Structure formats: structure tokens, C-alpha cells
Structure 1
Amino acid sequence: MSTTNTTYVYIGSYADKDDQGIYVYTLDRTTGKLKPISSTSGIGNPSFLIVTPNQKYLYAVSESTEGPGAVAAFAIDPQNKDLTLLNQQSTEGTAPCHLTFDGTRTHLVVVNYSGGNICLYPLDEDGRIKKMTYNVQHQGHSINPDRQEAAHPHSANLAPDGKYIFVPDLGQDKIISYKIDLEAEKLVLQGETTVKAGSGPRHFVFHPERNYAYVINELSSTITAFSYEPEIQTLNEIQTVSALPEGYQGESTAAEILIHPSGKFLYGSNRGHDSIAVFALDSSTGLLTPLQHVSTQGKTPRNFTLTPDGKFLLVANQDGNNLVTFALDQQTGKLSETGEVIDIEHPVCIKVLN
């Protein structure tokens, strides 16, 4: 295999412990074609993944809704990128749904959606997950009786300086920030930002170059833009826009949000409308302008990712049981079909190696 135009892709899914749950593919960075390499079983519902920058280790949540979930560590084979399970730790909460590293890559933060708690784990030098050192329990609710009856933190997002995390809590309509105190191995509350009641903030992203940040609100299908003040770690709302086309009346919830590596475009996924929303991003003001809505060619686009070079967007249609590759025009930000559609049972998360 040529190393000049191919990279590896890991896909997490909903699967039983004994079934294949994490898939490895190669991606041709010229054509967008995907080729299956291997798959791994061993943990139930490995729905969200993260890979170390040195590509030695992969971490996955094991999303259990009937009891405490878990987080698992895998070693990545340097030649064929196969996975070997190293160990697991309990998340002491149900439905772990997201995880991230601290800035030094020595600790892991895991978020439990149903359990409402956030966990901090040191990582061993051999990639194994050590015993949890801190556990923060969120408390609160908001106005939607079905979805906001309790706290539901949905993601942990590392600030550009690597020392703070921002946690959107769908159940409380808040984005709660913590300092990662590595010496004490705990999370220290830094502040809170409230969004419009009933919005349900879900995933969050910082601009790669400017002091702006964006949250996609699951329940209201909106995106809120903030100015970000890194000196005091605060967010100030500057705009909220719909992730759906004007006039759309059907049921839909928003899911993932990403910014193009150039910082010029922002993308969000709609589940129900089953689309990727494309926005122009003005780096001087942080404001968003709608450009395009593209069908994901499948149901429930839970997660999507951009290739590191910004040329392709890959989307996982959880209930469509497929993964679709789109070409991305780097001048306009718009998406176009490549014709590349692969069948995968209940795909949730996609990670493209750098």
C-alpha cells in the first residue's frame, strides 16, 4: 500500500460485546475510496473513539444504558493498525458518550450522558487506563420534560491551551467549564454559560485560529456562536442560527459540529432532515452564513469527520447502516457526492488518522 495517498480510518458502532464493533478501513486521500482492513470485538457499544496523536493507542467508550458503562484502551499495531484490547475501567455512570485527552495526553476525560457525571483517568505509559481519580456529578434540569429532566453532559472539549475543558450539558442548557488540575488529578469548576432554554447543547468546537467557539444544540437544531476570552475562560454569545433549511417543518435533532481546518467553514449534522448543514464562517467576526444543506444518503447522521487535509467529509448514518464520503470544495466549502457508500451496522463515530 502506498503511504503517499492513503490513511487509516477507525469507525465505532453500536454492537454487542461479542460482535465486531470497531472497524478499520483505509482511505484513499485522492479519490475518497474506502477499503476494509479489519474489525474488532470485545466491548459492547464502542460508540465514540479517540486516538493518540502518535497513533499508538485508541480509546473507546462502552456505552451501557442498563448499568455503569466503561472506557477501554486498545494498542494499535504499527504495521496493520489492528487493535489489541489492553484494559477497561468503569465510568461509574450510564451511557458514556464522549471522551477527550488533556493537553499533555496523560489523562482522559469521559462524559456519561445518562449518569450525568464526568470522569478523569490518568493514563499509563503503556497506554492502559489507570483507576479514576476524580468524578464530577452534574445536577439540574431545564424545560423539556422528556429530554431535560436531569443533567445530561454530552461532550468534553479541550480548550486551545490544553488546560481547560468545556462540557455542554443538554439537560441543563449550560456549557460548564473545568480546569484540569494535573497535580491534584481533579477537575476544578471554572464557570458556566447558559444557552436559550430548551436548546439542549450537545457538541462544541473552538475556532482553530481565532477566539471563537460554537455549540450545536440538539433539541432546537441550532448553532450558537460565542466570542471566547481565553484569559478568563468565558464565552459570550454573538449569534444563533438554525441548522435546518428555512421553512423545514419535520422533526429533527442536531448532532455533530466541526470547523474546516482553514477556519473558513463550519459543518453540522441534522438527524431527521438527515443532512449536513454547511456555513461560511467569517473569521473576523465569528459569524455564520448558511451555504448549503446536503442529504447524507442515509438515516440519522450521528457523527461525521473531516480529513486532516480538509478535502473530504465522511459521515456515519447510524440508522441508515452506512458511511458516506463527500468531496469538499476547499474554495467554497460546499460538499458534493463521490459515490462512495459503504455498509456498516449502526456506525456512530469516525476517526481519520493524521
Structure 2
Amino acid sequence: MNRRRFLRTAIQSAAVAPLAARGWRAFAADAGQQLLYVGTQTLKPSTSQGIYAYSFDAATGTLTQKGLAAWGDNPTYLVFSPDKKYLYACNEIDHFGGAKSGGVSAFAVDADAAKLNFLNAVPSEGYGTTHIAIDHTGKAVFAASYDSGSAASFHVEPDGRVSMPVSHFQYTGHGPDASRQTSPHAHWVTVSPDNRYLFVNDLGLDCIHIYKLDAATAKLTPNTPDAWHSDPGAGPRSLLFHPNGKVAYCVEEMASVIAVLNWDAAKGSLTTVQKISTRTENWTGPTATGCKMVLTHDGLFGYACDRGDNNISSFKVDPETGKLSLLGRTPCGGDIPRHIALDKSEKWLLVANQVSDTISVIARDSVAGTLAATSKTYPISRPQCLLFY
């Protein structure tokens, strides 16, 4: 896409008038609402135009669309800065400014109007950019590009804009699956709890690349050891740290397994201690693939979505070891769950169902940790990411 048009259109869309004269904060105070931003696919057959804003009523589990928060070119994944003044999106595209590249976009958050004001966009130097993360100081942003099999880091300027890439890594090689692992596929970027390391999940090479991070400059250097390796053909997709900072959970897409990993911050190493399935037992339907996991703030319960069989697995977490025990599986309420999120009250789990074009809202038992068997669904074209303000 022409970069000038990309920037011009984004600025125009961000300048749309506020939703209500009193502003979002006043409305939220009156109604007890939560603000939710939703990243979407904008490529055909989608009818979405970018990032959408919703209000969520935690008392009733009702989701209400407030409109387009900002135009974006396939803004599939979103992340806030730690102070929530800024939002960053990866643009999952193959061409940016005439080059073979995806993009990273920066926005200033206008919570009063439930809008996003465009700041700038830069190339990711990799194409099919699927995931974005930010360090705990808000000074460095990271992106993983699935199609090109590469990862990059960016420095955050004082005004929230992102720099051109500071570090860039192009991976080479392949995995054992001849249909899905013919090349590297960087899928996810995660910052360690102590802000000293960055992890890049590589579905194509069956590993998690590990880097030392200089947050002040966003520079990355390979760690020793430089990677954790999954079983061959497992396809590590996403990574999530437990609140205790000692355990991490890697969702392996192709194996539909969660690998529970001990994290040694002194050495910068991950060690597998448990594997547990996200797939329905004796599944014989379409190919099932693991996707995303979330944890409650106290770290006592976890939830993971699996596509193909379209379920959410609920787990109890051992507070000492971080190991998982299955509580049950629940229908996701749609087709191909791409992302899940707990609302701030943790009474509801929301699911972005990519192919059925819906967001599902599932009630959660805060004591038992179980999910309701049925859900409410709300239409939206090709939802990809759910981010509560």
C-alpha cells in the first residue's frame, strides 16, 4: 500500500469527533463500563477498517460497539504502553511504503472519546507481521513477522512514536513438517518479567529464540543459551509468564499442547517441566491447533483456546510449581478462536472468533475457575485481538 495514503488516511480517521460530548471517562464512571479495543483483519473477505472501540458492562456481560477508533491496514495485534498513553499495532501486511515489509503503527490513546490518534508508522523489515510487544519501561517495542520468519526491535521516542528498527534478526532453516515448517515463522514476542530478555516464538523452527535486552536503546543481542527447543513439529506459537515470574507457558500450535517452563533469570534459560493438551480428547474433526493462553491476576487459573475443535480449556494452576490441572473444556461460541482475554473483573472471558466474525462473552466462576457452557455473541468482521484499557 502507498505509505503516503497509509499515513494520510490514518490521520483523518483519528481526527473523528468524540463519541459523546461528556467523554468516555464520564460515561464509564456513570455506567461502570470498561473500554475495549479490538484489532481486526482488514483484508478481504473482511469488511473491517481497522481498530474498533467497545464498551463492556461487567455487571451484565454486555458488549456495545462505539465505532471505529482508528483506521488501520490489517492491525491484527495490539499492545498498550505501560502508562496506557499509547497503543501500538502490528500491520500484518506484505508491502509497506513500496517495500516487501509489514508495519508497526503508533497511536495516542484518547480514552475520553474512545479513539486512537495516529502518530506514525514504520516498516517492520519483515512481512506478515503478526505480533507486537512492549518492554516494561515503555521505551522499546518488538515485532514478530510470521511470513518472513524475522523479528525486530524499535525505540520509543518521548512523544510515543516508534523509531526505525534498531535490531533485526532474519532466521533460516526449517522444521520437520513439510507442509507448515518449510521456513522460519516468528509468531510471538515476549519480554521477561525482569525486563532483561526478549523471547521470540518460532513456529517454523520449533524453538523460542532468547535475547538480552538493553531497554534504553531497544538493542537485542543473542543470549547464551540462545534458544529453548520444543519437540519436533510442535510449533511454539505464544508465550505467557506466570505472575510469580518463575514459570512461563508456551502454547504449541501444531501439537495443541501447553509446555510449562521453568524460567532461570540468572542464566536466561527455559526448562520444560510439564506438557498438557489443549485439544479435546479423542478429537477426530478438523485439524486442531493451539493458540493463546491467559491467566487470572492471582495466577491460580488459566485458560487456553484451541482452533479446529473450537474450545476453551480451563486449568487450575499449582501456586508452588505452576503446573496445570485440567478443569474442563468449553465451546468458544464461534469458529476459529484467534484471541482470548479476561475482563478486568475476571467474571467474563471474551473470545475473538476469526472465521465466524464474532466476539463471544463467556461467564466465569471466580471461585471454581470454571466457565459457563453457553455464551453471548456479538458480530464483528475478522476480530484478531482484544485489549482492555
TM-score, L = length of structure 1: 0.95
Q: Distance in 2 between matches of 1:147 and 1:319?
A: 20
Contact 1:210 1:283 in 2 (8 A): no
Contact 2:334 2:356 in 1 (8 A): yes
Q: Distance in 2 between matches of 1:41 and 1:57?
A: 13
> Which residue matches 1:318?
354
Where 2:335 maps in the other structure, the secondary structure is coil
Corresponding position: 1:246 with 2:272: no
> Which has a greater percent of helix?
2
Contact 1:144 1:198 in 2 (8 A): yes
CA, structure 1 residues 165+308, in 2 after alignment: closer, same or farther (shift >3 Å)? farther
Which stretch of the first structure deviates more once superposed, 119-128 or 196-205? 119-128
Q: What per-residue deviation string (whole Å, max 9, x for no partner) do you get for residues 293-325 of structure 1?
A: 111111000111112332211100000100011
> Which residue matches 1:235?
270
Q: What per-residue deviation string (whole Å, max 9, x for no partner) do you get for residues 136-172 of structure 1?
A: 1122211001111111111011111112111111011
Corresponding position: 1:297 with 2:338: no
- 1:214 partner letter: Y
Where 1:3 maps in the other structure, the secondary structure is helix
Contact 2:50 2:72 in 1 (8 A): yes
Q: Distance in 2 between matches of 1:74 and 1:337?
A: 37
1:78 positional shift: 3.8
1:75 positional shift: 1.5
> Which residue matches 1:79?
112
Number of equivalences:
353
Corresponding position: 1:213 with 2:242: no
Which stretch of the first structure deviates more once superposed, 311-320 or 78-87? 78-87
1:174 positional shift: 0.6
Where 2:237 maps in the other structure, the secondary structure is strand
List gaps (5 residues or longer) in structure 2. Answer: 1-26
Corresponding position: 1:11 with 2:25: no
- 2:37 partner letter: Y
CA, structure 1 residues 102+2, in 2 after alignment: closer, same or farther (shift >3 Å)? closer
- 1:207 partner letter: H
1:19 positional shift: 5.1
Equivalent position to 1:204, from 239, 264, 268: 239
Equivalent position to 1:124, from 154, 157, 160: 157
1:273 positional shift: 0.3
Identical-residue share of aligned pairs (%):
32
> Which residue matches 1:173?
206
Question: Counterparts of 1:1-354 in structure 2 under 5 Å?
Answer: 1-3=27-29, 5-16=32-43, 20-40=49-69, 42-65=71-94, 67-182=100-215, 185-190=218-223, 191-209=226-244, 211-250=246-285, 251-336=287-372, 339-353=375-389
> Which residue matches 2:17?
none
List gaps (5 residues or longer) in structure 1. Answer: none
CA, structure 1 residues 258+132, in 2 after alignment: closer, same or farther (shift >3 Å)? same
1:184 positional shift: 5.3
